[in-house]
């Protein structure tokens, strides 16, 4: 069973977050999947972004503020 590192992107409002998680790969038909702790980490970051608690989201992810690109 291997656990390669993967970056998941979350988009909420004007923010995007990169969250590092480990994918569990095994011989079952369910692979690859996340462990419970990483799934909860994704939910926590999403919730913090929705609530505007960017400083707390930064404890678990790399957070970016999105800005529209204006066309001339």
pLDDT digits (tens, 9 = 90+) for 10-27: 999 999 999 999 998 888
Quote the domain boundaries for residue 28. Answer: 5-65
- The total of structural domains in the chain comes to 1
Report if residue 71 sits inside a domain.
no
Select the more confidently predicted residue: 51 or 26. 51
What's the predicted TM-score (pTM) here?
0.85
Report if residue 50 sits inside a domain.
yes
Tokens of 67: 């800005």
Strand bridging mode 15-24 / 62-65: antiparallel
Tokens of 66: 């999105």
Tokens of 4: 């390669």
Report if residue 40 sits inside a domain.
yes
Report if residue 43 sits inside a domain.
yes
Phi-psi region of 50 (alpha: psi -120 to 50; beta: other; left: phi over 0): alpha
Tokens of 28: 């079952």
Report if residue 70 sits inside a domain.
no
């Amino acid at each position: 069973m291997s656990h390669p590192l993967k970056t998941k992107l979350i988009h909420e409002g004007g923010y995007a977050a990169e969250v590092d998680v480990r994918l569990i790969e095994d011989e079952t038909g369910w692979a690859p999947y996340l462990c419970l702790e990483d799934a909860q980490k994704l939910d926590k970051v999403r919730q913090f972004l929705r609530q505007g608690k960017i400083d707390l989201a930064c404890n678990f992810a790399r957070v970016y503020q999105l800005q529209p690109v204006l066309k001339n």
